[in-house]
Chain A
């Protein structure tokens, strides 16, 4: 591996390093006597207090919310009666539960599938040398850096039924206009399209960095053996890329599960709940109505946490395995 490729892959190694550091509690760290340990925790004190105050406490409040019957009045003055798991029962038997679960899974699955493979295709394309390659690759980051409200409102306007540019283009192709955001049939597709667009840059950069770590000699050898470009991808690039691909997919999974802004800004989960996921449903219950239902809202949110943590733990396991490999 020459120095330049090594340099290019450094960020990924950094990420692995960071995650690995976290994934193996205790191991690798040599406990030192007395003063070092004391100083170590002194430097960790701010972040420890921070985590307790700004993560643990809000999480605790959320669990507490989900176990009580809160009204606007009791929210301010206290005295909400303890109701045990009633809010969870209520949420699970709600007719909105099944659609929200399905939408969450479809939204996450479809987003990941498309952004990963489009990102992969682009990473393969950009890993060839050509003029402007680096500049164009940098431009691909733009959608990822824009505030979500900007991307979401731009997509809303582009997908507008009457004046949107997408329907104009379809008209040009002889296709009848589609009510992208206002028909229950298309709303979920619309938010998935916007989310895929936002997710492509991340997949591109991750996979591109992974490809830079693959030694060029392997391609030379494969080419000498008469492998076609397609074979080179499936027999050389893809297998060697698998660890990076796995991390990319799992990170994507954890983060796509909790996507809220795009859906809320584009459709508010509607029409008639046709694009509502757990994230928007939870928000809808807690903040979207005149009479907020904090308890059920928190309950849905907590279910979402459980889902995210399940995938999160798979991610951490994968990180650890990769480090051991």
Chain B
């Protein structure tokens, strides 16, 4: 815990840590291993523990069949980020600094909104989109996906912006900046970390969304990668190397974000972010 108490023999703790991590990540390893396995070896007994006769066939299949899905997911993810930040950041600023009368009720509503099951939202959106003719549209999916992130994002912005020194905002006011100007030129640049955390989660959640995609975009021409994998399993349960290769490719954003933005991820988890 503290420096002076650090025992000299920490190597065995590292060893135990490595074993635990290996156990935890075994499914991830297995996914990668299977994605590189030849068709004829997929059902071998015992299985190949390492990709000894490695093949990139699975990845070739992904490149041929799944690229449009990946593109759609990227577009939906970015759209969701923009919508989420646009709606949540001003609200966070207001709740943290302007605190209008009745704002507490809104925060309460945001907290409740986080508890509504996805299936309920999916059914409601289905009914609404059916009447509006918005089923199978990318815009419709962006709106639906943003509902996963907006309440969380608003509360994260509010918590973060509470810490902005009042003097900073007072100085802007003294210089003659209006509320809008203060928000845009002072609050937003200072809140960069919150923007990164929120964007990261909004993107990941939209990228991973399955329930909205499956209910609201099941037949559309532009489907996200989660449906790409889902339909791939449905139509083709022989080529597991291709399925696992798609899964590996679909995990790339998560992996990249974990490496690049690790501390934002931890901040997001502890901010009460849970995948639903």
Contact = CB atoms under 8 A, between A and B. Distances in A.
A215 B28 CA distance: 36
Contacts of B226: 147, 149
B27 A197 contact: yes
Interface string A199-237: 011100110010000001001100000000000000000
A269 interface: no
A12 to B, nearest CB: 5
Given A43-B91, A165-B30, A301 B254 contact: no
A208 to B, nearest CB: 9
B115 A133 contact: no
- Size category of the binding interface on chain A: 35 or more
B168 interface: no
Contacts of B267: 10-11, 14
Interface string B68-88: 000000000000000000111
- Size category of the binding interface on chain B: 35 or more
A168 B110 contact: no
B202 interface: no
B156 A14 contact: yes
B120 A305 contact: yes
Interface string B124-140: 11111010000000000
Interface in A124-173: 125-133, 136, 138-151, 153-158, 162-163, 165, 168, 171-172
Interface string B9-30: 0110110111011001101101
A18 B158 contact: yes
B163 to A, nearest CB: 8
Contact of A18 (B20, B126, B156): B156
Interface in B90-109: 90-91, 93-96, 98-109
Contact of A40 (B99, B126, B162, B251): B99
A282 B8 CA distance: 56
B265 interface: yes
Q: A130, A165, A286, A304 — which one has the most chain B CB atoms within 10 A of its CB? A: A130
A17 B194 CA distance: 14
Contact of A301 (B119, B159, B233): B119
Contacts of B159: 14-15, 17-18, 21
B42 to A, nearest CB: 7
A260 to B, nearest CB: 6
Given A25-B104, A47-B91, A146-B28, A75 B120 contact: no
A23 interface: yes
B40 interface: no
A127 B272 contact: no
Contacts of A192: none
Given A62-B124, A158-B30, A287-B215, A44 B106 contact: yes
A19 interface: yes
B188 interface: no
A216 B233 CA distance: 51
A142 B1 CA distance: 26
Interface in B13-66: 13-14, 16-18, 20-21, 24-25, 27-28, 30-31, 34, 42-47
B143 interface: yes
Contact of A251 (B211, B229, B272): B272
A46 B120 contact: no
A196 to B, nearest CB: 11
Interface string A272-295: 000000010011001100000010
Given A54-B143, A147-B226, A30 B27 contact: no
Interface of A: 10-12, 14-15, 17-19, 21-27, 29-32, 36-44, 46-48, 50-51, 54-55, 57-62, 65, 75-76, 122, 125-133, 136, 138-151, 153-158, 162-163, 165, 168, 171-172, 197-198, 200-202, 205-206, 209, 216, 219-220, 247, 251-252, 254-255, 257-261, 264-265, 279, 282-283, 286-287, 294, 297-298, 301-302, 304-305, 308-309, 311-312, 316
15 contacts: A11-B270, A38-B100, A58-B125, A58-B128, A60-B124, A61-B128, A76-B130, A131-B14, A141-B269, A150-B31, A154-B244, A247-B272, A258-B118, A287-B214, A304-B117
Given A21-B158, A47-B110, A154-B31, 5 more contacts: A143-B28, A150-B251, A155-B27, A251-B272, A251-B274
What are the 5 closest A-B residue pairs judged by CB atoms, nearest first? A58-B124, A40-B100, A25-B104, A258-B117, A22-B107
